[in-house]
Amino acid sequence: MQWRGRRGSRNVEDRRGMGAAAGGLGIAGTLIVLAVGYFFGVDVSPIVRELDQGGGQPTELSQRDEEWGQFVSVVLADTEEVWQPVLTEQAGIAYQEPRLVLFRGAVQSACGGASAAMGPFYCPGDQRVYLDTDFFDMMSERMGASGDFAAAYVIAHEVGHHVQNLTGTLGEVNGLRARLSEADANRISVATELQADCYAGIWARQAQERFGTLEAGDLEEAMRAAEAVGDDVIQAGAGRTPVPDSFTHGSAAQRQEWLMRGFDSGDMGQCDTFSGTAL
């Protein structure tokens, strides 16, 4: 991916050097971290120990940390330049730039406390994407999804949720899920995540057309990342038999399909993942 030496976004808030303390999550938050680790088959005890011992003390960023910060800033800037015209032209909506918060270990957002073990997420309450860049190393080392464009796909997916928030889709989904059965709520959740994948594909196409971002093998990196975060792959990796009714993000094949549908079409109208659902 061609990203070095290019413009970075002013909307990045780097909290990684602030330190993290378990007290920010409390007992309930710690239990959530442990539960997530159990579900994904990941040993989160080092994270819990780090939070227990961190005490909120500032930490020094490594050269790798600094490079990840620069990379994230450039990718976010690209999403800004892509979605400003696309959202206006295709949906008649003015794009409002989100902020992206880099954190380490644990973080507080308008959506509550969260841990790095829960992965990157978007909070509609404060219109921020939250990301621990150590997640990129975990993708490479434990999930077989290495490469800078794989990491860019993750960022573009979370920005896709911001686009859903601006169009009103996310608010409608969140209101609807509370009134549905667990199985139906899961199906709505899957449709939401797949649409964000499709929007990530639109970004990738536009980034290539506008900036010449993609290099040989980049799309394959994104496809491997989409496969790695499929619910069936995650459940199988945790030693469980995949149960489609329990999926909340979609299977590996679905995630790859919608990512490429967005890339091939470049059209938000082709990202209707909700056909046949209650939305």
Q: Which of 68, 69, 82 is nearest to 199 (CA)?
A: 82
pLDDT band at 75 (very low <50, low <70, confident <90, very high): very high
Q: What is the mean pLDDT of the chain?
A: 86
Residue 176 in domain:
yes
Please state, in angstroms and rounded to a whole number, the distance separating the CA atoms of residues 205 and 188.
26
Give the residue-averaged pLDDT of 46-71.
Answer: 69
Longest dimension (CA), the chain: 50
What's the pLDDT tens digit per position in 147-191? 899 999 999 999 999 999 999 999 999 889 888 999 999 999 999
Whole-model pTM?
A: 0.85
Residue 198 in domain:
yes
Give the residue-averaged pLDDT of 208-233.
Answer: 92
Please state, in angstroms and rounded to a whole number, the distance separating the CA atoms of residues 50 and 277.
42
Degrees (nearest 5) of the Cα angle 183, 124, 229?
50
Residue 278 in domain:
no
- Asked whether the predicted pLDDT for residue 257 surpasses 70, the reply is yes
Higher-pLDDT residue of 85 and 42 is: 85
Higher-pLDDT residue of 74 and 139 is: 74
What's the pLDDT tens digit per position in 235-256? 998 899 999 999 999 999 999 9
Residue 203 in domain:
yes
Residue 31 in domain:
no
Please state, in angstroms and rounded to a whole number, the distance separating the CA atoms of residues 125 and 106.
18
Q: Are 218 and 8 in contact (CB under 8 A)?
A: no
pLDDT band at 279 (very low <50, low <70, confident <90, very high): low
Residue 88 in domain:
yes
Residue 122 in domain:
yes
Locus of tokens 């959202």: 87
Range of the domain at 242: 12-17+62-270
Give the residue-averaged pLDDT of 94-119.
Answer: 92
- Asked whether the predicted pLDDT for residue 121 surpasses 50, the reply is yes
Give the residue-averaged pLDDT of 188-214.
Answer: 95
Please, is 90 exposed, middle or buried when counting C-beta atoms within 10 Å of its C-beta (0-12, 13-18, 19+)? middle
**Three-class SS string for the chain?**
CCCCCCCCCCCEEECHHHCCCHHHCHHHHHHHHHHHHHHHCCCCHHHHHHHHHHCCCCCCCCHHHHHHHHHHHHHHHHHHHHHHHHHHHHHCCCCCCCEEEECCCEEEECCEEEEHHHCCEEECCCCEEEECCHHHHHHHHHCCCCCHHHHHHHHHHHHHHHHHHHHCHHHHHHHHHCCCCHHHHHHHHHHHHHHHHHHHHHHHHHHHHHHCCCCCCHHHHHHHHHHHCCHHHHHHHCCCCCCHHHCCCCCHHHHHHHHHHHHHHCCHHHCCCCCCCCC
Give the residue-averaged pLDDT of 104-123.
Answer: 89
Residue 4 in domain:
no
Please state, in angstroms and rounded to a whole number, the distance separating the CA atoms of residues 255 and 191.
10
Number of domains the chain is built from: 1
pLDDT of residue 43: 45
Please state, in angstroms and rounded to a whole number, the distance separating the CA atoms of residues 99 and 127.
7
Q: Are 26 and 112 in contact (CB under 8 A)?
A: no
> From the CB of residue 249, how many other CB atoms can be counted at a distance below 10 Å?
20
Please state, in angstroms and rounded to a whole number, the distance separating the CA atoms of residues 234 and 243.
11
